[in-house]
Structure 1
Amino acid sequence: MARNHTLGKLLSTQTDANRPNEVKPSGTFSRSGALGSVARSLGDLKAKANEAEKLEEKLRDGSHVIELDPGTVDPSFLPDRLDAPDDTFLSLRDAIADRGQLSPILVRPNPVTSGRYQVAFGHRRLKACLELGITVKAIVKELSDADLLIAQGQENSERTDLSFLERALFAKKLETLGYGRDVAMAALGIDKTELSRLISVARELDDEIVAYLGRCPSIGRKRWLEFADALKSPGGQKRCVKFIRETTEHNADDEKRFIAAYKAAVGPKASSVTGANHEPLSWQSPDKDLVVKAESGDRKGRIDIRSEKSPEFVSFLLEKIPQLYKDFSKVRKNTQ
């Protein structure tokens, strides 16, 4: 037998004739009474929660730019820049002061400290905003340690901000921390061969040598490889460190510091890169818009001109070469 519902029994005891008239809530009560007020409040809270959830999702996906107090943003756990004077930073800071920050930085929520962030790339923009006392525009994105390092390395590689030395040291740090070479290659945008070159150079560099040389942005791969070979030669490392500890020329330019350290590592042997009579020379225009570097050997020389105005300057130089050669021949004749 089916079980009778208790509530049904209670309701069925009253006939339709004896049942009191039903009282229906008025529309006015539902809209403006206490119940309506609570309903509206709950609706507002839900809407705000949905908006907050959408904003949080945007931040996690890196699809939204916000402004942060630069004091709440910590540096990457693996710096890729040497702490050295950088004239370009002053230009960047002045540009941000004049025109504002045009490109946002990339940060992630700090995995250790709640309420703080950690920068993936944009360290110099962050520093500029901090010094200027303004907020920093940032994209917030959830990143693993490896993803952060890859984003950090790729940004700097695309902007060609890092010198060969900084790239080499960064590659070595990744290796020391146990990251696979695939992470290093992705971060620096290089192949296995170039990565091996970078690491082979960094392994030979004593901390004192790095501190003395600084960023050395003008020194290319070939010369670094030869410097590493010189350091690997018997006594090369000791001779170089001894020279650095005794020299007073710590404020010389990149070229002079590098040549001096290289010669110390080589010792009495002649250098194939920076021989005593064939040291690389460099010249920079007063406005720093044109850089000319020259190397000479026994039977050939090379001039490297770097500037957006290079084509015009090279054409101008070629026009002047006949007269320059005449002047050179005169001077040479008078000195013989």
Structure 2
Amino acid sequence: MSIKDRLAKKTGDLMVPAPASPEGGRGASPRTAPGQMLAFRSAMRESSDRVSQLEAQLKDYDGTVPIRALDPATIHASKWANRQDFGDESFAELKSLISEAGGNTQPIKVRPDAEGEGYEIVFGHRRHRACLELGLPVNAIVDREITEQNQFVQMDQENRARKNLSPWEQGVWYKRALDDKLWPSQNAMAKACGLSQGNISSALLVAELPDEVIAAFPSPHDIQFQGARKLAGALKKARDEIVQRATELAEDPARTASEVLTALLGAARPAAPARKEEEVGIERKGDLLVIRLRASGVPQDRIEELRQLIAGFLEDVQSSGA
């Protein structure tokens, strides 16, 4: 076998397209083995140059996070979802802005569902809900490595950076995490979330109010931290009285949150003892002597008789003085 044949046999699978001709087409493929080797080396250099160009372009994206447009129907709320109200004015405004923009400009974060179907929200429940109702894809960052604890922390931080949760929403959320043993204590949760233990304790006071007390307010979102602290202290002294009063107040939805709080705290205070009024009171005021009588003790038809008795008394005093 000739050298040409042996080279052709060894390099037969290294055939490369012929280099492009000046007219834009491709020239004829090299016929000789050395020509094919040269063409292969030229193609390798071109490929290496292209790889270098792509690597240089990729450097522009260092540190960036890819955003994907997902079908909102494939995404479900997290078990730690803490947004309970999608009917308020702020949600309507958010939904309008997303509609005008044709999608959410601030991406949400999701993670693959544990069951392998779709995604679970890490944060961005309101933006997801708006896109779902508008029938728009939702822009999302997919985090495949996030733990459940980190999911909770990121959701807490993201919400505090935007529209704050109501004290009641915060309390319910923190209480659920502690009940599920996501953290062993309030202190451990506080450190993970970057909060003081007092912040969490205050929120828990709201969530741990009796159901009857919460139902007495126009909305649980109306309960503030300071009011919850006062109610918690009052409940230790007069729980039955406050719960009973709350049950009565729940039947009157016209009351404001302030009125409800005042009424509940009033139910915890013992009634002041009835003041026993004197039948006859006499008080000197300057040149006057004021006589007070209980009206119920003097019949109407005997008032004139009383006036005459007093007038007679005054005459006797004046006569005695003369």
- Shorter-chain TM-score: which interval? 0.5 to 0.7
The change in CA–CA distance for 1:197 and 1:208 in structure 2 (over 3 A counts) is closer
Superposition pairs of residues 1-336 of structure 1, within 5 angstroms: 20-22=1-3, 23-25=6-8, 30-31=14-15, 63-83=65-85, 85-100=87-102, 101-114=104-117, 116-141=118-143, 142-180=145-183, 181=186, 184-185=189-190, 189-206=194-211, 209=214, 213-216=218-221, 219-232=223-236, 233-236=238-241, 238-243=243-248, 247-249=251-253, 252=254, 256-257=256-257, 259-260=259-260, 263-264=263-264, 266-267=266-267, 269=269
Segments of structure 1 that go 5 or more residues without pairing to the other structure are 1-19, 34-50, 52-57, 271-336
The change in CA–CA distance for 1:113 and 1:213 in structure 2 (over 3 A counts) is farther
Shift of 1:268: 6.3
TM-score, L = length of structure 2: 0.59
Identity among equivalent positions (%) equals: 26
Shift of 1:215: 4.4
Aligned mates of 2:244, 2:172 — CA distance in 1:
22
Contact kept, 8 Å, 2:83 with 2:126, in 1: the verdict is: no
**Root-mean-square deviation (CA), in Å?**
3.6
Shift of 1:230: 3.1
The count of corresponding residues between Structure 1 and Structure 2 is 224
Shift of 1:241: 4.9
The change in CA–CA distance for 1:207 and 1:247 in structure 2 (over 3 A counts) is closer
The change in CA–CA distance for 1:205 and 1:82 in structure 2 (over 3 A counts) is farther
- Deviation track 1:58-81 (CA, whole Å, cap 9, x = no partner) reads 9xx981111100001110112213
Aligned mates of 1:207, 1:79 — CA distance in 2:
24
Aligned mates of 1:90, 1:191 — CA distance in 2:
33
The change in CA–CA distance for 1:220 and 1:188 in structure 2 (over 3 A counts) is farther
Q: Which has the larger radius of gyration?
A: 2
Shift of 1:207: 7.4
Aligned mates of 2:215, 2:262 — CA distance in 1:
13
Contact kept, 8 Å, 1:106 with 1:140, in 2: the verdict is: yes
Aligned mates of 2:213, 2:76 — CA distance in 1:
27
- Deviation track 1:107-143 (CA, whole Å, cap 9, x = no partner) reads 11111233x1111111110010011100001111121
Shift of 1:267: 1.6
Shift of 1:168: 1.4
Segments of structure 2 that go 5 or more residues without pairing to the other structure are 18-53, 55-60, 271-322
- Deviation track 1:255-274 (CA, whole Å, cap 9, x = no partner) reads 8145326524642638xxxx
Contact kept, 8 Å, 2:110 with 2:141, in 1: the verdict is: yes
